[in-house]
């Protein structure tokens, strides 16, 4: 078999066999296949796509490049969630303790933020000495004991994804449904959960810009999951506007604590409830209505908040932030951002707010950049709200005053005003299983 022939076959839009896909992935991992050859194959896949069988075989080959976690000791109770990435998306911090407080087992690996999107690991590291690198035995032990543990991606799971993603990132081959589906699902399968809820973000602040491509990605990931005997549900959610009011790591932790204390922003709470109840319904094998009731009870009784405290203590974080979340708001500098016109906010781009927050120090331009956990933006007003010229729309936080002007000008371009109240935007487009 020759990689040249495999590239040529895909260039002519012909389906690749399981053996050919394995040959390409294994050869790339052991360095028999060069970056330029893999780049050509990825570009051919990007342009000509892959059928369901090829996508399944690609996922399998990537999965086999590393180890997989065995969560069979938790039976059907192991559940996982994944978001395709967005702005202000702090749902894992809300969903994981809710679900764990209801007896389910959340053994989760999360990522760090890059560009305008945030990552759960950075948010958790706002909580003092919260440790996100634990040995496998400590990780599983904690899940068994308290029902939840979240750590960073282990290098031993799906090393092929790490190598391929780095190449895709610099060869304009990220945006391909079979490549995204196999990348995400190989990691989810290796993480071992029996049931997986995928939050597929759609809009200007997400990978998927329209509903049609979101549905195509959902279907591809469900087919992969089912092919490996896992239950998968996809919740397709709006990412045109930041989720909740806070964007930036410790600011988002603050908002998540508020949500678990029953004071959550409406849209954030609605998505967190939808994700949690789908995880509960799959993990416990109950209908969604009953699962919703259990989720609401976990929040209103304070049970989920207690679980968050247990979780923070177990991973070495400082529980004083949960007991007194105001302590999370201590950035050295803050500045108010005011409305440029009177009117309704007719758009407040998630992407724009994400970039404005990144420029305050809350995010990374490059993977190796350091971040400021206290930096970010808290919106006072959002889509559809009426504002008067000169009144506060947002507060900007940073450790470096010099970063305010750049962030402010991005924010100005991210917000538009109208005299008529804009139509409500749908928050959850669809749930597919």
Q: Is 364 a catalytic residue?
A: no
- Residue 395 φ/ψ, nearest 5 degrees: -115, 130
Which of 65, 126, 154, 183 is catalytic? The answer is: 183
| Strands of the sheet with 415-418, listed across from one edge | 386-387, 343-348, 415-418
Residues in the chain: 433
Site string for ligand URA, 154-173 (x = CB under 6 A): -----------x--------
Q: Is 318 a catalytic residue?
A: no
Q: % helix / strand / coil in the chain, to the nearest 5?
A: 50, 15, 35
Nearer to ligand URA, 174 or 329 (CB): 174
Closest by alpha carbon to 147, among 198, 66, 77, 247? 77
CB 1: neighbour CB atoms within 10 A? 12
Count of chain residues binding ligand URA (CB under 6 A): 8
CB 213 within 8 A of CB 234: no
117 lines the binding site for ligand URA (CB under 6 A): no
Closest by alpha carbon to 255, among 60, 352, 395? 395
Near ligand URA by CB under 6 A: residue from 180, 236, 308, 348: 180
> What three-state secondary structure class fits 350?
helix
Binding range to ligand URA, per CB under 6 A, among 3-11, 125-133, 179-187, 298-306: 179-187
- Residues 50 and 57: their CA atoms lie apart, in Å, by 10
Which of 10, 123, 187, 373 is catalytic? The answer is: 187
Burial class (CB in 10 A: 0-12, 13-18, 19+), 285: exposed
| CA separation, residue 266 to residues 180, 245, 393 (Å) | 30, 10, 18
184 lines the binding site for ligand URA (CB under 6 A): yes
Nearer to ligand URA, 12 or 366 (CB): 366
> What three-state secondary structure class fits 348?
strand
CB 350 within 8 A of CB 86: yes
Binding range to ligand URA, per CB under 6 A, among 15-23, 175-183, 256-264, 342-350: 175-183
Site string for ligand URA, 74-103 (x = CB under 6 A): ----------x-------------------
CB of 296 to ligand URA, least distance (A): 31
Nearer to ligand URA, 190 or 415 (CB): 190
239 lines the binding site for ligand URA (CB under 6 A): no
357 lines the binding site for ligand URA (CB under 6 A): no
Q: Is 168 a catalytic residue?
A: yes
183 lines the binding site for ligand URA (CB under 6 A): yes
In sequence order, the β-bridge partners of residue 114 are 117
Closest by alpha carbon to 163, among 188, 136, 183, 133? 183
Q: Is 12 a catalytic residue?
A: no
Nearer to ligand URA, 198 or 411 (CB): 198
Binding range to ligand URA, per CB under 6 A, among 180-188, 256-264, 287-295, 404-412: 180-188
CB of 82 to ligand URA, least distance (A): 8
Nearer to ligand URA, 184 or 411 (CB): 184
Nearer to ligand URA, 174 or 313 (CB): 174
Rounded to 5°, the CA angle 158-160-163 comes to 125
Q: Is 82 a catalytic residue?
A: yes
- Residues 28 and 32: their CA atoms lie apart, in Å, by 6
Positions touching ligand URA (CB under 6 A) are 84, 165, 174, 179-180, 183-184, 207
Instruction: Give the residue numbers annotated as catalytic, written as ranges.
Output: 82, 161, 168, 183, 187
């Amino acid at each position: 078999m020759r990689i040249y022939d495999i590239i040529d076959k895909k260039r002519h839009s012909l389906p690749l066999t399981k053996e050919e896909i394995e040959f390409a992935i294994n050869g790339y991992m052991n360095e028999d296949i060069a970056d330029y050859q893999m780049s050509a194959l990825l570009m051919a896949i990007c342009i000509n796509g892959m059928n369901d069988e090829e996508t399944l075989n690609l996922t399998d080959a990537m999965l086999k490049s590393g180890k997989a976690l065995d969560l069979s000791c938790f039976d059907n109770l192991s559940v996982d969630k994944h978001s395709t990435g967005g702005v202000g998306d702090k749902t894992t911090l809300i969903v994981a303790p809710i679900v764990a407080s209801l007896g389910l087992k959340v053994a989760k690996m999360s990522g760090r933020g890059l560009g305008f999107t945030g990552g759960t690991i950075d948010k958790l590291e706002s909580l003092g000495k919260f440790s996100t690198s634990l040995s496998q035995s400590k990780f599983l032990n904690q899940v068994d004991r308290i029902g939840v543990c979240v750590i960073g991606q282990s290098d031993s799971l799906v090393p092929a994804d790490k190598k391929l993603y780095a190449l895709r990132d610099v060869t304009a081959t990220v945006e391909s449904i079979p490549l995204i589906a196999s990348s995400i699902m190989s990691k989810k399968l290796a993480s071992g959960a029996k049931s997986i809820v995928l939050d597929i973000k759609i809009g200007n602040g997400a990978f998927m810009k329209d509903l049609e491509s979101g549905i195509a990605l959902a279907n591809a990931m469900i087919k992969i999951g089912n092919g490996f005997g896992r239950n998968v549900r996809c919740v397709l959610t709006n990412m045109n506007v930041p989720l909740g009011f806070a964007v930036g790591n410790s600011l988002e932790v603050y908002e998540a604590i508020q949500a678990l204390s029953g004071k959550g922003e409406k849209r954030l709470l609605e998505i967190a409830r939808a994700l949690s109840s789908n995880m509960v319904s799959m993990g416990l094998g109950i209908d969604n209505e009953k699962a919703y009731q259990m989720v609401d009870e976990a929040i209103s009784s304070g049970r989920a908040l207690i679980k968050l405290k247990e979780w923070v203590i177990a991973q070495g974080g400082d529980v004083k932030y949960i007991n007194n979340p105001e302590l999370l708001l201590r950035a050295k500098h803050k500045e108010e951002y005011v409305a440029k016109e009177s009117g309704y906010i007719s758009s407040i781009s998630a992407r724009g707010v994400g970039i404005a927050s990144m420029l305050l120090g809350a995010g990374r331009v490059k993977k190796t950049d350091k971040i400021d956990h206290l930096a970010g933006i808290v919106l006072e007003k959002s889509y559809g709200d009426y504002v008067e010229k000169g009144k506060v729309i947002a507060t900007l936080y940073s450790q470096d005053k010099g970063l305010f002007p750049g962030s402010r000008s991005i924010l100005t371009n991210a917000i538009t005003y109208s005299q008529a109240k804009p139509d409500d935007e749908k928050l959850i487009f669809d749930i597919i299983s």
